[in-house]
Amino acid sequence: MIRDKTWYLNWSPGCPEYDRDDTVLAVGLRCCSAKCRLSQVIGWLGDPDLVCGTSTGGHLVYFFQRHAETAAKFDVVDSVVCAFGTITRKAPNAHRTDPATKAVTFFNVLDTMVQFRDSEMMKTAEPTGGGSGVPPPQR
């Protein structure tokens, strides 16, 4: 974070002093302190860069413009964003454990994700229209 956490929490849709990276962080922090609908987050931030899963359980990723090494990851459960954090973009950032052998395999979760358009996430997400009445921030 470049600024104080309070500054990010003061964000509201359409605030001109927040660029895309600031808005992604602000929305992420908002999702950590209050339940935000998946449709709200997409309405505020636009289509995610990558997704996996569905609106009942999955992840959204937004790439930062100023931070090429990290990305913002939002966790979705039952059409609500329930967690937010950052992940590395170019190295292993997750692991799987084989139930039979207990062997751990490290991998980059971004390699398992797809574009939002025509994804299962998009197909199962509620429409973003009618949300806050404020257009999403400019990219």
83: its two tokens: 């967690």
Residue 16 has pLDDT above 70, yes or no: yes
Q: Is residue 137 part of a domain?
A: no
Q: Is residue 31 part of a domain?
A: yes
81: its two tokens: 């964003």
Selection from 9, 30, 132, 129 nearest residue 81 by Cα: 30
54: its two tokens: 């569905």
75: containing domain: 5-124
State the sign of the Cα–Cα–Cα–Cα dihedral 73, 79, 126, 94.
Answer: positive
Query: What's the mean pLDDT in 109-138?
Result: 75
Q: Is residue 76 part of a domain?
A: yes
What are the tens digits of pLDDT across the range 50-89? 999 999 999 999 999 999 999 999 999 999 999 999 999 9
Write down the mean pLDDT value for the chain.
Answer: 89
Could you say which DSSP state residue 28 is in?
A: H
Q: Is residue 132 part of a domain?
A: no
Q: Is residue 43 part of a domain?
A: yes
Instruction: Give pLDDT, residue 48.
Output: 97
Q: Please state the domain count of the chain.
A: 1
8: its two tokens: 């990010």
Selection from 70, 72, 113, 74 nearest residue 89 by Cα: 70
Residue holding tokens 């605030």?
15
Cα 52 off chain centre by: 11
Count of C-beta atoms within a 10 Å radius of residue 6: 8
Q: Is residue 129 part of a domain?
A: no
pLDDT class of 126 with cuts at 50, 70, 90: confident
Of 133 and 65, more confident: 65
